[in-house]
Structure 1
Amino acid sequence: MSMVIEIDTLVLEGMSEEEGRRAAAAFERQLQSLLDMHGLPEGRRLNDLNLIDLGHLPVTMTGPEARGAELARALFSELQS
């Protein structure tokens, strides 16, 4: 199954524009990897991603790539809830 994911808005405070781009790219890669490995949870549709608002998450990782990947894992975890 092939999926196309479009992220409308990803706000990453405290980062430069370049760091934000790197974090966003890592977010997309990690989310795509999780979906490729595990697929969508039973009963979920790709459009369900649009309904998830992670709000303000405390970021525990440092570096743009690690932060982006951490946010993707949080989104995927919410999708499984």
Structure 2
Amino acid sequence: MDTRVTETTPNPVGAVPNQVGARNRRNWPAAAALGLGIAVLVSALAVVLLLWYANRTQECYRPDSLHQYAQCVRLHLDGN
């Protein structure tokens, strides 16, 4: 049985394969740029939040136990 795709082979979607491929190739760079932009924004936001947290809780970095650290962090994040 010949399994090669010919002009008479029906496409289950109903579109010509070359047209679908061309359309997807045109949109791919825009989708990649959008995804990259979102990833950069999320990374920058994570850095800002980590710096803010470190600044607010810098006095809590030398406790003797995890309980003391958690208590200190709660106090500093509440604004006391």
Normalized per residue, which structure has more helix? Answer: 2
The two structures have a TM-score, normalised by structure 1, of 0.32
Larger radius of gyration: 2
**Which has the higher relative contact order, 1 or 2, with Cα contacts under 8 A spaced 6 or more apart?**
1
TM-score by length of 2: 0.32
